[in-house]
Amino acid sequence: MPTDLAMAKLNLGLHILRRRPDGFHDLSTIFYPIGWADVLEAQPAEHLQMTCTEDSLPADESNLVMQAARHLAQTFGVRTGALVHLEKVLPMGAGLGGGSSDAAATLRVLCRLWALRCSRRRLRRIALELGSDVPFFLYGRAALASGRGEELHPMADYAMPFTLVVAAPPVHVSTAWAFGQIRPTAHERPDLEEVVRSNDLDRWHRELTNDFERPVMSVRPLLKAIKRLLIDTGAGFASMTGSGSALYGVFESECDAIAACDAARQAGCRTWIERPGGG
């Protein structure tokens, strides 16, 4: 039975540049993959179906896993079914991209289960029809993203030299609401790839901003408190990822990172620590 990991991502900077005529927004961000992940498994079955370890997550056609499976089967004329099992590890609605990553992992495991010969380009096209950021999760390497998030400029040679602590408090943030609070601007926005590659945490603090942070934290003070906790325990840089609610701290000291992880857990957060090189 093929299995795959659906890894989370962090946004290193997130700038909302303009509202598009199609109602979407142009943005600039760096997607950075981390090892915190859901697990997808597929096995033969008579019909397409899914199971999930998280009872609150629907296992019907409203789930991106089922949408990805259905779309792949229709594209390739697959007549057999599959049972896709999702072991849900990632916090939901936290800005970590779990749903999109699950969809990408579903495409990968079913391509193997059904022995499909699918080119990289064709699989990316299917992924894009499922969501703007799903193509990123197909390959899971650091990338500068523009457009709606679907235009990817790989940064495959970039490896963060810091230890990361991710803290996900028990708070849900509506992405649609968060976009409604933004006043987009493309004026004097820094080159995010240049900023990230500098590995200068003082510069990150000045220029690696997330446009969602101010409006979200104004109504969710717990998130502001968790960011302060990360900084007070030694983070040289801390930010919200996506539209929230997860935050991450960047640490030069692994000892400080471990202490911050413990403190965030005691504050009620689900946590993950990512060392340089992963793990």
Measured CA to CA, the distance from residue 265 to residue 277 in angstroms comes to 23
Strands (DSSP E) contained in the chain are 3-19, 25-45, 48-52, 81-87, 143-146, 151-154, 163-168, 237-240, 247-251, 270-274
CA-based nearest residue to 178, from 227, 211, 147, 146: 211
Given the residues 9, 38, 227, 256, the one annotated as active site: 9
Specify the amino acid at residue 147: G
Measured CA to CA, the distance from residue 90 to residue 107 in angstroms comes to 19
Given the residues 4, 38, 102, 133, the one annotated as active site: 133
Active site residue 9: yes
DSSP 91: P
Residue 244: which region, alpha, beta or left (left: phi > 0; alpha: psi -120 to 50)? left
**Catalytic residue IDs:** 9, 133
